[in-house]
Each structure stands twice: as structure tokens, then as C-alpha cells.
Structure 1
């Protein structure tokens, strides 16, 4: 066999190998990074936090009919403070959702423009001692939005999953920590609201013993039961939201720790488990 024949055979083998490699990465992105993409998608779609943020903002609307004039004045001041920080609380989630969407794109083959979502992030956070937002949360938000702006504006050129996770993990962890702390603040505020509203019924109903009050007491008991059920359901949502945020933080941390072996079976199984947990939590929240 002459040199030309050997060279032609080599080129045919090389072409076949490249074709097989190309086929292995079709069908929704690189097979080896499918679990990264699924984890990022599940993280972006977790839900719960935005709804609970809105509930926190609207606390006064639910409390107001039950408040005395003196308590109402204080509640109005709290209402103004909650509304002042609401947009910041929501911006944290928006930045993390956009980060996860970007990470999902990097782990797959599909590319679409996320630049419009950059405009929805807002102008930045403000530190607020009452809400618990600290300067390091502000710095993390700024750092993550700058990373997203660079990656999305450049059309994802030169950016890989590994470098995205390496560059973003520290800020992601700080912002998830902030969301967990804020969700606990929401739960505490809700607990105070529950005590305020249900406490009125606990005090007033036992003293309403006149026959003329019978219909009013019956209606009050029905209302009390309805509110009690509402608070039980929302308490469950706080627990599910905290579990979800903690799972996202752990999953991203594990990706950072295993950057050099994201395609290893052990890492892929671990990320797949986190993805399943997040989807189960999302389904539980929708019940």
C-alpha cells in the first residue's frame, strides 16, 4: 500500500470519528452536560420566592381590617418600608434566574437572545439594615449582573460552563444566602400577621355569649377556620421555598467543587438528583 492510500484511509477514519463525535452532541446539547442543563433549568423555574415576596409586600392590606387605630398607624409605617424594598428583593431573584438560564444555554446547543432580560434587572440594590440586605449582598448583585452583561452581550463567545460557574459561584452563593434570609423574614412577618388576626378571634369569640350574637359568632368561626387554613398552606410554602433555595445553593456548590469532572458519572448522577429534587419541590408548591 503506497503513502497516498495510507493518507486517504487515515483521512476517512478521521472524518468518521469527527462525524460520530458530532452525532454524540446532538439531540438538545452535549450529552455529558445534560444534567448541568437540567439542574440550571430546574433552578430557574423553582418559583415560590416571587409570590412570597409579593405577599410580604401586601401584608398591610390583609391586616388593616383587623387593626385598632393605634396599631394601624404603626402598620402603615411598616407598609411603606416593605414597599420601598420590594423591588430590590425581587431583583435578587431575577439576577439568579437569568444566571441559571445563561448557564443552561452554555450547557446546550440552543442559543437565543437574553439581552432584553438584562434591562429588567433594575439599577442595583441598596443596603438596608432593617431588611437584612448588607453591602456584601449589594456587591454580589453587582458582580453577578456584570458577569451576565459580559457573557450575554458577547453572544456567549469564549464562555464555557466551567468558567461561568467558576466566575459566578461566589456571588451566586451570597445572593442565595440573601434570598434564604429574606424568605425567613417573610415567614416571621407572616407569623406576626397570623397572631394579630387569629388572636382577635381567640379573644373575642369566647366573650360573645348573647343569643343575639349567635349568627355573628357563627360567621366569625367560619372566617377563623378559613384564615387558619390559609396560614397553614402558606406556612408550607415557606418551608418548600427554603428547601428549594438550599438545594440550588448546594447543587451549584457541588458543580464548583467538581468543575474538572462535570462529565464523570458520579457528578452527573449527583446533579441529576438535585434536579429531580427541585422539580419535586416545584410540583409540591403548585398543589
Structure 2
């Protein structure tokens, strides 16, 4: 009986070698696919980037001529860097889309989306987009070009995560820094606009000003609610980006034990958290 079992084992190993190698048992990339897919669909950042770009359009009606001149100059600088800010996001999203597809069974073609990444970033000290982020964007774009052009799957998940982690972490870090910049800009906008009402309304106490004051108070309340909702979006976006960073770090640290229960549960939790955050972002 032992001899028969030995011969059976040898035969199985021989067949395995002839077929090109044996896969590790129970290895599943489902959690990798779900985490990467949830990361790609997080959302929020693009809308907040656009809001940052359009700050002047909201502030302009409330500005004095002197303040308006300075605000126009700031507006020109924001618009000049907006596409670079979006390109950072596009590269991270495309990376996660590619990783999700590599972890699946289907062939894919994301080649057209490479053209949408832009021609490159420029460092901008005012915004915090540094040369290391430019280098990371270039590195990640090259990795994406190779992965997408080959369409190769299977072990490409390991290659993608191992080779892409450092650049991805740098770019997600850039997105976190930029989101904080957006939040700070929004805080200044709020002080500018609501501050005018805080100063002017108490002095508008003539009987003829009653209707004007009422309308001003309604407008003030509406704007206050708007800023409250936007502040929540900044907080959710930052939470989501942090989850993306930590989840990918977990992947990188456990590339050779993705079938382990602990790793799979952790990735499942990250994917679940990202879906909850995305739902929160779409509610506001």
C-alpha cells in the first residue's frame, strides 16, 4: 500500500512538472481583486480637485477690488497645476484597475487609458508636489505601460505590487498632501465669505434693511451648511486614501502568503472600509 501511494505521488509530481509547475494550494486572489477594485472606485479626490481649482469663482462676488486682483493671480496658479494634480490621481486609479484585472481571470486592454495620464508632472513647491512625486509618477507610468502592454496575468500580481509599491506610496502620499491643501484653501474661503456676513449683518439694523438682512441670513446658513458638508468630504477622502496606502503596504509585506487567513481577512476589511467611505462620499 505504501509503495502504491509512493508511486501515485511520484506520478502526480511528474504530471505537475510536465504541465509547467504546481500552484500553491488554496491560493486566492479574490481579496486582492476586491481591495484593488474598491481602491480604484474610491472617488472624492477628483471633485475636491475641481473645487480647489474653482475657488475664485465662488469667492469673487464677495471680494473688494484690491482683494480681487490678488485672488485672480492665485486663481491662475491653481488652474496651471490642476491637471498635474488630476494626473497623480489618474495614475493611482489606473494602477489599481490594472492590479484588480491582473488578479482576475479575464484578459484585459487598458491601453487607451494610458493616453489619458498626461505628458508628465511638474514639481510645484507651493502645492507640495515635489520632484520625488514627479519621479514616482514616471516610474509608476512605466510599470503600467509594461503591465498593460503585455496583458500578462498570474504572477504579474506579485511583480506589480513589488515593483509598484514605493511609487504608489509616494503618489498616494502626494494625494493626501494635496487633499489637505484643498481643505486649507476651503477653510480660508469659508473665513473670507462668511466673515463678510459676520461683520456686515450686525450693522444693518435700519428698518429698511430688514428684508436684506433676512436674505443675507438665509444665504449665510446655506453657505455654512455647504462648508460643513465639504469638510466631511475632505475627512472621508483622507480616510480613504490612508486605507489605500495601508492596504497596499499589507499586500507588499505578504506577497508570498496571500492565501493566509489573516492576510485575506485584512484585505477584506480594507475593501469593506473603502466601500463604506465611497458610499459616504456619494451621499454628500
Contact in 2 for aligned 1:95/1:141 (Cα 8 Å): yes
1:173 to 169, 175, 194: 169
Which runs of 5 or more structure 2 residues have no equivalent in the other structure?
A: 1-6
Match of 2:3 in 1: none
Alpha-carbon distance between aligned partners in 2 of 1:252 and 1:85, rounded to the nearest angstrom = 27
Structure 1 length-normalised TM = 0.90
Distance in 2 (alpha carbons) for counterparts of 1:248 and 1:163:
18
Structure-1 residue corresponding to 2:80: 84
2:92 counterpart (90, 96, 100): 96
Q: For residues 207-255 of structure 1, what are the alpha-carbon distances to aligned partners after superposition, in whole Å with 9 as ceiling and x for unaligned? A: 0000000000000000000000000000000000000000000000010
Instruction: Report the more deviating stretch, 256-265 or 178-187.
Output: 256-265
| Among candidates 209, 225, 238, match of residue 221 of structure 2 | 225
Q: In the TM superposition, what whole-angstrom CA distance separates every residue of 1:252-283 from its partner, at most 9, and x where no partner exists?
A: 00100111101111100000000000000000
Normalised TM-score (structure 2)? 0.91
Name segments (4+ residues, structure 1) moved above 3 Å: none
Among residues 104, 107, 114, which one is paired with 1:111 in the alignment?
107
Deviation at 1:284, TM superposition (A): 0.6
Deviation per CA, 1:159-184: give whole Å up to 9, x if none. Answer: 52111100000000000000000000
1:42 counterpart residue number: 38
**In the alignment, does 2:170 pair up with 1:142?**
no
Where structure 1 has 5 or more consecutive residues not aligned to the other structure, the ranges are 1-5
Matches within 5 A, 1:1-287: 32-156=28-152, 160-287=156-283
RMSD between aligned alpha carbons?
A: 2.3
| 8 Å contact from structure 1 (residues 151, 159) kept in 2 | no
**3-state SS, counterpart of residue 249 of structure 2:** helix
Whole-angstrom distance in 2 between the partners of 1:139 and 1:156: 25
Q: 1:251 & 1:100 partners in 2: Cα distance?
A: 12
Partner Cα distance (2:56, 2:27) in 1: 50
